Amino acid sequence: MPEGNVTRGTTGPNRLRRMDRWIAAAHGPALRRAPVPPRAVDLGYGAAPWTAVELLERLRRVRGDVRVTGVEIDPERVAAALPYARDGLAFVRGGFEVPLPGGERPLLIRAANVLRQYPEDGVPAVWARLCGRLAPGGLLVEGTCDEIGRRHVWVALGAEGPRSVTFAARLGSLGTPSDLAERLPKALIHRNVPGEPVHAFLRAFDRAWAAAAPYAPLGARQRWLRAVGTLAGDWPVLDGPGRWRQGEVTVAWAALAPLSGPAAA
């Protein structure tokens, strides 16, 4: 039987565009280096197949022969997606075991808005299960976004475990950086309390945002660039202005990892 539970299935076109854009930039070199056509998995794509269709289109700009498999635990959702299958795009029933023909191991697993319904203490086991299915050099991207893709937070993991946390937003709709707290992935959302690193990070981000208020007349992007640049003086920010201009910032997982709870460092 497939491993996992049926999600609410809420989805829509372009919901995961920010996550996809980051994946293409961060994981593109690994996709291009793959000696055979790489496989990516859209795990838990939901009641409609849009996110899997879009993932194929976006990754093929990086590598033209990439293949995508949408994996869903609900057989009715799989049946509804089959008319969208085409060369390089398939849909199968499954869960955290990630069933692929011949036991193939994917170079990418994207699990968006899947683990929020699970208990916090179940996250490390799911992460380990999914990372164990990756091909050498593979990447797991697990996180959460709002219904129309304006705000995302995701964790990137390799075989060794979590590497980084990325915060991404449509800057024109952002009041303060801590507005992203409601989209923290399951491993972090209950850790946004005083004494935990992710709470301290979001407070520091808000202070940097407030200090950058004089740049607001130049636009939200300029204010974000200034705030993230200030933040990078005290926190291990892993990317640079090229990504910041996209409304993103990526921070080392070790700096935000919980001090308590199941995902504690």
> How do the pLDDT tens digits run along the chain, 265 residues long?
899 999 888 888 999 999 999 999 999 999 999 999 999 999 999 999 999 999 999 999 999 999 999 999 999 999 999 999 999 999 999 999 999 999 999 999 999 999 998 999 999 999 999 999 999 999 999 999 999 999 999 999 999 999 999 999 999 999 999 999 999 999 999 999 999 999 999 999 999 999 999 999 999 999 999 999 999 999 999 999 999 999 999 999 999 999 977 887 5
> Is the separation of the CB atoms in 141 and 168 below 8 Å?
no
Q: What is the DSSP letter of 60?
A: T
> Is the separation of the CB atoms in 124 and 47 below 8 Å?
no
Confidence at residue 59, expressed as pLDDT on a 0 to 100 scale:
98
Confidence at residue 1, expressed as pLDDT on a 0 to 100 scale:
85
Confidence at residue 265, expressed as pLDDT on a 0 to 100 scale:
58
Give me the domains of the chain, ranges plus CATH numbers. 17-169 (3.40.50.150), 171-253 (no CATH)
Confidence at residue 204, expressed as pLDDT on a 0 to 100 scale:
98
DSSP string, 21-58: HHHHHHHHHHHHH-SS--EEEEET--SSSHHHHHHHHH
Confidence at residue 76, expressed as pLDDT on a 0 to 100 scale:
96
Chain mean pLDDT for the chain: 96
Of the candidates 95, 75, 110, 83, which has an alpha carbon nearest to the alpha carbon of residue 5?
Answer: 95
